[in-house]
Structures are given as structure tokens and as C-alpha cells.
Structure 1
Amino acid sequence: MPGPAFLVLLGPDYAGKSTVMRELAAGEPTWRLLSVDDEFLAPEHGVLSRLKSDLMADTLPAMGKHHSPDFVASLLQTAVVHLRDQVMDCGSHQPVVVDSYYYKILAKCRLVGATAHPVFDWWRGFPQPRRVLFLDVGPAAAWRRCGRGARANPLEHHGDRLDRESFTEFQDDLRATMLAEVAHLPVDVLPPADPPATVRRVREAVAREFA
């Protein structure tokens, strides 16, 4: 039996993936769009919203003090398994686009020092997409988009202190780590562009894969 057919939308922080997903949701009602953003979660999956809220408000600020990186990875695994379950529920003909899948979470866990390698190997055994669409953005543009750090969280910079240098270094490392994780797959790197142009390129890529 062939596995599920899907594409993954990937990219560094503040690359514009959420904007693209919202535009696709509004303009492509027959597509299936999978994400752990609240607006894409069904009411029966509200536990993910609650866990994410607790993670951002309580757990991440205490990482390295009261919670280990492995503990953070354990919480993030709920999002990974949810996306895996949703992918497995998809057919082979309906266009399916997944926001980041496990690739970005795995990369971030590695960068903050999580050592749960058996778990990472399990994730890597999940169904693989036909293609990855990598929305590229430079750290300078990402820094501006996050309000020069005002909206950044501890999974978006190195160390305890957030500044432009720690953010830039993390984003450079994140980009390289994600691209290494998907090196075995067909990857289209989409250069920075205005949202309508990016959405158009994503639509074109999905149309080719599901023609």
C-alpha cells in the first residue's frame, strides 16, 4: 500500500509559513492543511492548544532551571505525533500540506540540547513527504519581523540572553539543521518574496505534485 501523499512547508522562524497556510485555507477549500496553530486545530484537539500555552508561558522560560531540554522535547512530541496521526488519515489524491511536520521541532530540540535520540529516530521513521517547500528568510529580516526580539521565545535564540547576535546565530543554525534533516528529500528553496508571490509558488508546486 502506498503511503500518504503530502508536502511539507518548512522554513526558519518568521519565514511566513503561517501567512501562507492562512491564505491557502481561504483560497483552497478542497486542500487539507495540517498545522498545530490554533486556527487549524479541531475542537477535539484542544489539548494541543492548552499544552502549547503552558509550554510558552511556564515551561520554556524555566528551561535549564526547572525543566531539562529533554522534558521540553517530550512536550513538543505531542505536536509531532498529532501531525503524524493527521497525515496517516489522509488519502492519496487530495492535496495535503503540512506546516513544518517534525523537521523543525527536531532541529530545535537538537539545538537546545535535547538528547532523546531514540525518540528522534522514531520521528525520522514517520511517513515522508513527496517534497519540501522551504520558505527562506535571512536572520536580519526575521529579526525585524519578530519586533527585534519582542516576540521571540527561548526556542528562537541561543543561550539565556536574547539579543540580535544570539537570535542570528540560532536562526543560522536552525536553517542548516533543518536542511540537513530533509537532505534525502526533494526540496524547493523559495527565496524571500511578498506573500502573494510566495503563495502563488506554493500553489504551483502543489499542483505539480498532485496533477
Structure 2
Amino acid sequence: MSGRRFHVLLGPDGAGKSSAMGRLVSMLPEWRMVSTDRAFVAPEHALITRLRRDVHDHLLPGLGTAYSADFMASVLQTAVVHLRDQVQETDPRVPVLVDSYYYKILAKCRMAGVRDSRMYSWWRSFPQPSGVVFLDVSPGSAWRRRGDGARLNALEHDGQDGSWAEFEGYQRNLRKLLLEEVREVPVTMLAEQPDADRAAEAVREVLAS
């Protein structure tokens, strides 16, 4: 990884990272965008797209009943390793921006009660980015962007019902854990942006500098 330009775009749920990265494709054509979002997954990695869909459609609705938190972590680890592999396999001359890397999955696994310190230690041994761009958002704005809570999944709130109070508490704790995970990495904080275009421009300015 020596000499590789490798940054991470991070933030709480609803911050607009995926939308910003979609716009950065044309704004930063020399950069490679790495994510498990379908728009960024190559055809030869279609398994990642299917697994992500199955996580949302089957695993998360059954979390705590049909599936344990440890099982969830085992499945999510495929995304973590995929992101690492994509970073490692990119031409070192090409700068890379990674959506959340392992940081967000690790934080959410911790919040779900997964205690596998060996797995976390392995993830934390992965190559570290040159910097993190933290796209912030208030819980209130994130709640509205999730249709006032209508489009939440089980890894975006505490409790069973997904109420506003459960969402707000979860998101504040998530933000705290994310910043804890990247405390040894240079972090640029970006305040909440009003829309995806402005978020992308704010990220572009950081990366260009």
C-alpha cells in the first residue's frame, strides 16, 4: 500500500455518502470509487450485490429471531473483505475513495452486541487510509431523509419499533463509535450539506486539496 492514495468517505446513516459518490464519478474522473452499492460493483462481483440485497431483504428482518448477531457479522464480513480487496487490487497510481471501509460495519456490529475481538482485530489490521472525510448529518435530517422513519432497517435504530427516539439514540451512538474508530487517522469534518450536489462538491474540495 506504500504510496497509494486511499481515502474513506464516512458518516452516520442518511448523511448522503452514496449520493455524493455517485456525483463524484464525473467530478473526479481520475479517482476510483469503491463501494458495495450496486452502482459501483463490477459485473464479475455480482455476488456482492446479491448478498447485500439478501442482507436487507432476509437477514435484517430476521435479526434476533431467525438469525443471530454473530451470523449477521459473518455475512457482513464479506463486504469488509471485498472493500479491502478492491483497494489492494487498484493500480497504486489511481487514487481511491472508499465508502465507509470497515469502520461502519464494525461500529454497527459492536452496537448489535457482537463481541468477536479477533474479527475486529483482523479488520483493524487492514491498510489504513491516508485520510477520512466525515460527512456529518443531524439525526433529525437523517430521519426525514429516511421518510420520517418509514425506510429504516434493523441496523439503523435501537429497539423493535424504529421510533424517533430509538433512531436518534442509535445514530448518536453510531457517530461516536465511528469517530472513535478513526481517531488515529487524519479526519476532515464536513458539516451537514443541504443536498447531494453540495455534499459532493464539499468532498471534492477536500480530496482535491
Measured against the shorter chain, the TM-score band is over 0.9
For residues 193 and 61 of structure 2, what CA distance do their matches in structure 1 show?
33
Identity within the alignment, % = 50
Question: C-alpha distance in 1, partners of 2:138/2:205?
Answer: 23
Deviation of 1:190 after TM superposition, in Å, equals: 0.1
SS in 2 for 1:165: helix
Aligned positions of 1:30-45 closer than 5 A: 30-45=30-45
Specify the alignment match of 2:203 in structure 1: 202
Q: Which residue does 1:165 correspond to in 2?
A: 165
| Offset of residue 3 of structure 1 | 5.8
- Where 1:170 maps in the other structure, the secondary structure is helix
Matches within 5 A, 1:18-29: 18-29=18-29
- Which residue is 1:141 aligned to? 141
| Aligned residue identity for 1:103 | Y
Q: Deviations over 1:143-194 (max 9, x none)?
A: 1110011111000001222100000000000000000000001001100123
Q: Secondary structure at the match of 2:91?
A: coil
Deviates more, 1:85-94 or 1:37-46: 85-94
RMSD of aligned residue pairs (Cα, Å): 1.2
In 1: Cα distance, 2:4 partner to 2:120 partner = 21
Q: 1:114 Cα shift?
A: 1.1
- In structure 1, what is the equivalent of residue 125 of structure 2? 125
Q: Does the 8 A contact of 1:139 with 1:172 survive in 2?
A: yes
Tell me the amino acid that sits aligned with residue 204 of structure 1.
Answer: E
Q: Deviation string for 1:92-144 (max 9, x for gaps)?
A: 33221000000000000100111222111100000000010000001011011
Provide the C-alpha distance between the structure 2 equivalents of 1:15 and 1:54, rounded to a whole number of angstroms.
23
Question: Amino acid of the residue matched to residue 202 of structure 1?
Answer: V
Deviation at 1:55, TM superposition (A): 1.1
CA distance in 2, matches of 1:121, 1:3: 24
TM-score by length of 2: 0.95
